[in-house]
Structure 1
Amino acid sequence: MLPALVGLAFLLLPLLALLIRAPWRTLPEQLTGAEVWQALRLSLVSATAATAVSLVLGVPLAWLLARTDFPGRRLVRALVTLPLVLPPVVGGVALLLALGRGGVIGQWLDAWFGITLPFTTAAVVVAEAFVAMPFLVISVEGTLRAADPRYEEAAATLGASRFTAFRRVTLPLIAPGIAAGAVLAWARALGEFGATITFAGNFPGRTQTMPLAVYLALQNDPDAAIVLSLVLLTVSIAVLAALRDRWMTPST
């Protein structure tokens, strides 16, 4: 019990300090600033878009790692999970070198299609998806490995194609895992800082998300930084609690 209580205190005390030091008297005035809602709206939109990208690309990737056997699968799994341990700033630099105007792929996007990703709102989504997708892949892959493949085999013997079996049998079986992975990916995208500021910059109204706004305010106005932190904390807790009650709590 003692280590457990120490661990609980270690996690809760910083949040309690944030509540204690909050400028409650000037809170309404601080919240009426346009930059607060601008940054919050951009954070919510970009995190949701990054989660959608992670779902579209991450679920098939998790299925590939869990359901197929190919040479180098362990290496591919290690590379997929690399953004989990890679410093976010390094991820941002890597994205610049890959998708920047002079990058490995970015130079062709600019020359052929006139697309320039860095320092745009799309760059925010790309950076957040890069760091958030591994959370979804790990969650979905674990759920796929725990699911009984005999249901898919039974659907195949009844004439269902691989895509039909995946859509009608596999997806309903792994829906809780997908939901859990999506929640983790959304939360990670919402709090992303390093890769975003490196690849997308910090431009109010275009690339300045809530974490970037907190960092900027902390240098000039600590009270504003505390208010922004409270808003981000409230949104995160509300969304995670709502999604957990709806999708992640097992039915009895």
Structure 2
Amino acid sequence: MTSIDLNADLGEGFGRWRLTDDEGLLTVVTSANVACGFHAGDPVTMRRVCGLAAERGVAVGAQVSYRDLAGFGRRSMDVPSDELAAEVAYQIGALAVFARAAGTRVAYVKPHGALYNRVVRDEAQAAAVVDGVRLAGGTLPVLGLPGSRLLELAGRAGLPVLPEAFADRAYTDAGTLVPRGREGAVISDPDAVVERSVGLAVSGTVTARSGARVEVRARSLCVHGDTPGAVELARRVRRRLEASGVRVEAFA
């Protein structure tokens, strides 16, 4: 039977402000990418999400980013390699404290936003992320875009690599994500998102923005938690995957 992990970005709030329905999403997803304080998240939120994830058997992942609370981590930054490596390790370490206190552990690492997109092609920034992961977690798996420099360098460093796909993001013919600033970058039609999820899980392909079929072989499928109706959409995706003979389970 085909299997796939279902992940979502969680804990993306700060203080009294909340963006994601963490409780709702944790009843659906199998892996939680928890914001570690640099683009969103704070100690109380991180602790709460780790506790909920542990209760529900959901794998906890560190979602690391540039230090950019004001821009939600979506602004590209030129950060020196040694500084970026240290900041990645810092974020993983902070989350690890709360995961351990909840009786679980940090099971993988996933970059967020501008950092995620930057390490697709930027070797220096990708190497810095890998260095940070090794500094903090030894051999923690790395979740990222198939064919990215990040996954290539992580594999060379002996880290497990986990290719990821996005059901609600538009793809280019090269298999990369259409930048968020461009029209049509985010797929807003729930029916289309559900259909794309099945295609990615079953056939490993997705229709690019140009209409071409693009191969995207992934071990995990991301459903964004910061979109309207995210929980119900995630439920629809999971129900349809399981109805199509796909086993939904954590990779970790």
Report the TM-score, using the length of structure 1 for normalisation.
0.28
* Greater share of strand: 2
Q: Between Structure 1 and Structure 2, whose CA radius of gyration is higher?
A: 1
Bigger relative contact order, structure 1 or 2, given CA contacts below 8 A and separation 6+?
A: 1
Report the TM-score, using the length of structure 2 for normalisation.
0.28
* Greater share of helix: 1
